[in-house]
Amino acid sequence: MTDTGVHIRRAVIADATQISALIEPFASGALMLRRTPEHVRSQIDDYVIAEQAEGEIVACGALKEYSPSIAEVAAVAVSPMMQGRGLGAAIVSEVERLALKRGIYDLFALTLKPGFFAAIGYQRVDRARYPEKIRRDCLACSRRFACNEICLAKRLSQQLAA
């Protein structure tokens, strides 16, 4: 439980529709990629959520693995009514813990909000450092020739695993 009265936990199948709905306004505004409930369900083990006492999901994030040692912090969204309360950082921290449990220490994020990730310890890097991402996602993306996302990365410490 955070000091905002929100509980952070791993997502379950029943959360998929709410996660998709939380992401939708950001996707409609071209701030992140759209994720359908079916897509979220297919990758539910990679999602973490922040949930209010009444069950409303107000933040989410996911770990997207590219190799046994590299993964992306993806799908980070916080409900507009809950922004500015540290939920984004709490979600990313939980995604980092999930990465460590899986033995992944190198994380990166592609974002239009580099200041957020920089504030939580990520450093700007060249996206070419992650050819797995480019091959799997960027080549098929409709925005690949006009992409303005910034790549940031973080090497996790084993101490966070506890």
pLDDT tens-place string over residues 112-124:
999 999 999 999 9
User: 3-state SS of the chain: helix, strand, coil percent to 5?
Assistant: 40, 25, 35
Please say if the pLDDT value at position 147 is more than 90: no
Q: Does domain 6-161 sit in CATH 3.90.930.12?
A: no
Residue ranges per structural domain of the chain: 6-161
> Which of 42, 12, 37, 3 lies closest to 22 in space, CA to CA?
37
pTM of the full structure: 0.91
The contacts of residue 97 (CB under 8 Å, 6+ apart) are: 160, 161
CB within 8 Å of 66: residues ≥ 6 apart: 72, 130, 132, 133, 136
- Report yes or no: 58 and 87 within 8 Å, Cβ to Cβ: yes
- Cα(162)–Cα(158) distance, integer angstroms: 8
Average pLDDT over residues 114-142: 85
Q: Round to whole Å and give the CA distance between 127 and 1.
A: 35
Of all residues in the chain, what percent carry a pLDDT higher than 90? Answer: 75
Give the pLDDT confidence of 66-111 residue by residue, as tens digits. Answer: 999 999 999 999 999 999 999 999 999 999 999 999 999 999 999 9
Q: What confidence tier does 20 reach under pLDDT thresholds 50, 70, 90?
A: very high
Q: Is 79 left (phi over 0), alpha (psi -120 to 50) or beta?
A: beta
Residue with tokens 């939708």: 24
